[in-house]
Amino acid sequence: MGAFVALLLAAAQSTADDRSGEQIYRQRCASCHGPAGEGTKEHPEPLAGDRPLDKLARYVEKNMPEDKPGTVTGEDARKVAAYIHDAFYSRAAQARLRPLRVELSRLTARQFRNAVADLIGSFEAAASDERRGLAGEYFRGSRRFREEQVVLERLDPVVDFDFGEWSPAEGIYADEFSIRWTGSLFAPETGTYEFNLESANGARLYVNDPVRPVVDGWVRSGTEKAHRESTFLLGGRIYPVRIEFYKARQEKKASVALKWKRPHRVEELVPATHLSPVRAPEVLVLRAPFPPEDRSMGYERAVAVSKEWDEAATAAALEVAGRVAADPRMRDREAVRRLAERAFRRPLAEAERAFFVDRHFAEGGDAEAAAKKSVLLVLKSPRFLYPAVGGSGNDPYDVASRISFGLWDSIPDAALLEAARSGRLGTPEGIAREVDRMLPDLRTRAKMRGFLHDWLHVDRFEDITKDPKGFPEFSAEVEADLRTSLDLFLDDVVWSGTSDFRELVLSNSVYLNGRLARVYGAELPADAPFRKVALDPKKHAGILTHPLLMAGFSYDATTSPIHRGLFVARSFLGRRLRPPPEAVTPLSPELHPDLTTRERIALQTREQACMSCHAMINPLGFALEHYDPLGRFRATEKGRPIDAKGSYAPIAGDAVQFDGARELGEFLARSEETQGAFVEHLFHFFVQQPVRAFGPDRPEILRKYFVENGTGIRKLLARIVVTAARGGEKGTAR
């Protein structure tokens, strides 16, 4: 009898050992997590994530099932983890279970602003000129700027003059003279710019408006020299600018300087690099404010129309219609027709022309009112607001729209529309030629800078502050210089000949000026302008150790390995980390004065609930501990050598060990996870659609293309735009 029972038990054990991972899941896990890991009422969170398979198996072995943890172990834990991972846990499995589609989306606020700027600007082309500075006309005598009083004409690189009691030029009396500077100004990023026309005399500044000055100090009262006013400008655009200045007889001295405060910067002279002597056409910059866009997916999504957004779009349409109606050149049926075709990004059908244009002018009324009504109707039409509406899937005008909104966040230019009309967008090669033409445009450069700031979380650094006792050398001016330094480095890498992504994490160069050199230990004259400086390659690793990022991901008196590790995990490795279950106050350094930062963080996060995430986060951040809260290299902390050893367990493959930022950078430069994460970040920012909507294997296809082309950033962007342009209604990139 005993032998029979033993035989039955052995048979039962054998049957259990033969169970598949799916069978184990259904018996032990499905009641809590749902048949397909979709979640249940008690456990609503779906089973989805990016834990590597071996970590998922260890988690199951230690914690599951919830009512009897530790009862699914060994081979069973590995089987069920493999089933979960392949069936619904991994990103690839999620893409199979829930196929994504290209979403019908409206214009984002940024696209709306750019589109109307180009819609109106399309009627006047901008001239180009390689010279830098403003064209100066120096007048003898009064402030009326009469041509017969011009004594001198020259190019002034910057407007920064202190004439004192002297004449500005031969032939001009020192007691009374006037100067007019004209040309254009380049705004590198979108935001509010504060201008200061600093003068002890009469002066006024016009930016993007020939009639109303931004700064008006023509009639002065008191002794205040600064005249500050702000205006909102779109990035990647060139604006007409004019300065008028005069010295009256009763004034002893004369001086004038044009300064600005760019977004997230301190006040400085407007540099010659952002000035041109050629006048640009005005740019329509909407005053109507738009509500923030949905960023729940990690990029701007415009799939919903709220009451606030609709009201903003209506106000913007009224603003544009008023601008058009006030321009005599555009109070014309043919001009409005051209505007409607540019807005709809395709030729108008006969019925569309009759509805949107002809019937308003046919009423025989006021041409101004007709133009206004027509433009209002155009700008509130789904054909304008929804780029996918009005065409037939992959017709050439749809392709043109996807290209222009992908690269410029704006409507196609005349050349792109002509390429669509002539059939040149019917092949990948034809599309690629147009993309290559449009890549160097200032609008593409501005969008690329916006992407890089978003990817690196730079715009989240609001007014970085440091403990003045510990770091008296840090200031708002140093922070602004660090932002300029980072932008110069990013531009250098992205727009260089190779545009190699690996240089972002392997370069040993940084841009410094005299002020930064004093803080970061470089040998430069105190007044040196920005220049590329080579640092010790063993100590520097591109943007990983750039002082702005190291300072931004630190506290005011200590570093923050957690913030730095999160940055590397999310931005470089694409890891999706949930917020902690409850807020935790960091341990104060004063409570543990003898502990290094690494030791204090290890103490704070040692609990098991913390280590589920911090086992990955902390080692990534520890690798950057050689950099103090200002981003300066240090060998010791509290008199002890820095321990910068770290590790990372990839989703696939063996764990990686590294010691310091350089070895971390070398790992990231060759990591498939880093390559894939960058591909997805770039795709989502420029296309504003889920990359897997263009095919579940699209991320891997693009990653391989990226690697095969020397990890060239511009080449990757071009391929992404070509892919999106040919996406089709069902989201399949053919």
What is d(CA 608, CA 605) in angstroms, rounded to the nearest whole number? 8
CA-CA distance, 69 to 615, in Å (whole number)? Answer: 21
Dist CA 284 CA 265 (whole Å) = 24
Q: In angstroms, rounded to a whole number, what is the distance separating the alpha carbons of residues 447 and 409? A: 8
Structure tokens at 352: 């569309």
Q: Give the whole-angstrom CA distance, residue 43 versus residue 581.
A: 15
Structure-block tokens of residue 429: 């090669």
CA-to-CA distance for 218 and 205, rounded, in angstroms?
10
Taking residue 260's Cβ as centre, other Cβ atoms within 10 Å add up to: 22
The two three-digit tokens of residue 605, written as one number: 């996060």
Q: How far is CA 240 from the centre of its chain?
A: 26
H/E segment holding residue 196: strand 191-199
Residue 164 CA to residue 256 CA, distance in Å, equals 10
Give the closest residue to 207 by CA, choosing from 230, 225, 227, 179. 230
Q: In 10 A of CB 506, how many CB atoms?
A: 18
- Please report which helix (H) or strand (E) contains residue 357, including its range: none
pLDDT of residue 3: 47
pLDDT at 9: 39
Residue boundaries of the structural domains of the chain: 19-97, 105-125+284-388, 134-276, 460-670, 673-725
Please report which helix (H) or strand (E) contains residue 613, including its range: helix 608-622
Classify the phi-psi angles of 519: left when phi > 0, otherwise alpha if psi is within -120 to 50, otherwise beta: alpha
pTM value is 0.90
**Six token digits for residue 406:** 């992908």
Query: Rounded to whole angstroms, how far apart are CA atoms 487 and 449?
Result: 8
CA distance 102 to 729: 7
User: Which CATH superfamily, name and number, covers 19-97?
Assistant: Cytochrome c-like domain (1.10.760.10)
- Rounded to whole angstroms, the Cα distance separating 399 from 722 reads 9
Check: CB of residue 317 under 8 Å from CB of residue 337: no
Total residue length of the chain: 734
User: Cα(189)–Cα(264) distance, rounded to whole angstroms?
Assistant: 11
Domain 134-276 class? mainly beta
Q: From the centroid of its chain, how far is CA 327? A: 35
- Decide: residue 468, CB within 10 A, 0-12 exposed, 13-18 middle, 19+ buried: exposed
Residue 201 contacts residue 265 (beta carbons within 8 Å): no
Q: What is the pLDDT, as a whole number, of residue 223?
A: 72
Query: 504: which residues sit within 8 A by CB, 6+ positions away?
Result: 490, 493, 542, 543
Please give the structure tokens belonging to residue 252.
């002893």
What pLDDT was estimated at residue 40?
Answer: 87
Q: What is the mean pLDDT of each run of 10 residues along the chain (734 residues)?
A: 42 59 87 87 83 81 81 86 84 79 92 96 71 95 81 96 94 93 96 95 96 90 83 96 94 95 93 95 93 90 92 96 89 92 96 94 83 96 85 80 97 96 95 97 96 94 91 95 97 96 97 96 93 94 97 96 96 85 70 88 82 88 98 95 96 90 97 97 96 92 98 98 77 37
How confident is the model at residue 125, as a pLDDT? 61
Q: Please, how many CA atoms are within 13 Å of residue 47, restricted to the half-sphere of its CB?
A: 26
How far, rounded to the nearest angstrom, does the alpha carbon of residue 536 sit from its chain's CA centroid? 29
Q: CA 536, CA 626: separation in Å to the nearest integer?
A: 13
Rounded to an integer, what distance in angstroms lies between the CA atom of residue 375 and that of residue 326? 12
Residue 563: the pLDDT is 95
Task: Look up residue 348 and give its two tokens.
Answer: 């108008």
* CA separation for the pair 425, 420 (Å, rounded): 6
Measured distance CA(587)–CA(601) in Å, rounded: 8
